[in-house]
Chains A and B, each alone.
Chain A
């Protein structure tokens, strides 16, 4: 395993085992004693242990991976999967919200519109991208780009990683709720294919505002939820300390969402999470979006619209 990261709490034992293996290798080369069999055995066991660990993560452990600082962001994926990327700025009404970024590009020669929420890594970036929390103007920029894509028959790909729409005074003054609502309604009317992927965090209306799509996928360790586990804990339990319990109860993992038939599929991540191997994650992402755009290539505008409509029409569980 690549040792460029500080281990997360639950990864510590793995890192320790791998340190021991390294020690053995070193010992072997220093003393000339052949320890190859032992090293091989341990390496295999460590690998099995890792596979087991990462396939049985708790929701709050997944949360830590989904929020990992080194996890690839929207712009990282753009540079890994597209050619000829050209960012299109601004909402045409006075603002260019940097938390939502959009533009045109080609993926394997196929022209697309890409829109996503962007998170930063440094303080400077976090301020620029507002921690991936869009203002109403960001949703309005996305809407303008949706219409653009619709006019030119560009399939729309939205890549989502947001803790939610920004809760602030100005956001309320310029209509955060309305901006999201209008996107939900207008996405329903578009006659071009829309594919969405939850990259990391997909929290509440802030995520859904870009995800009324024909196909919705989640990365293996990402989460999709009506409210952040912390927010839910502070409202229902009146204590943010209950966040991990809330995360369990809210059923936010990709497996949960697939089971609830809210998403169409799960995109595999490299062992340990996307941050361990960006190229692997990017290749999986690219395959998934290209395949699903290809699947829809024979559908007319009207068919695409009713496909999307029927997808969401089915959602909900009740007794009658």
Chain B
């Protein structure tokens, strides 16, 4: 944890001790590569209560499995004017989709931009299946298919595409991550880099990692996407969020994969 003390260091120190006491807890962590902003990489799972973790640990209890099952069904259901399903082109997802969730967003040469799993799904629907596209953040079909695709990488460590194009995308994402937004004038780093492991009201701050998305969130009483979460955090600081699946959030997602490098994919996770 990087905690910078101002002039008031001496006065603050007493209470900072209390604040950092939470770190004494035993959280499974992964080593960060050289020059990484975090000294250790920790999944959001480690910051949740035993009750919430238990819901994720048991596939039969995990409420997101309804959508995972929906995704599995849609995988081989033909849709659109071309009369094709995902399976028509990609066959067995356990083979063809393995590793996708651990490496996207990826650079698309044809489109000259980075694309997320969700965007790839809609590209396939539009161009290959000639089917309607799905809405980004709340459409159960989109959530189900994204979960199904990413779930094929469950347990696989996040890896990075080191192409110069993706480096440039991550640079933009990094800028978004460290910029203060909103009336409360905070950056993602303020909460998730400087203060993870500490309570903010009733919430124990995590590193804000994205390895479990789409996630079932008790507060949402449903499943939500990575970009829905980004949007929620921006709204909490009273900022005008970027558009889901727009350039900034896609870049932010790409950068967050760098912050999560080595962390195993958990999709679908359960959070409070």
Asked if A and B bind, the verdict is no
- Report B's interface with A, CB cutoff 8 A: none
- Report A's interface with B, CB cutoff 8 A: none
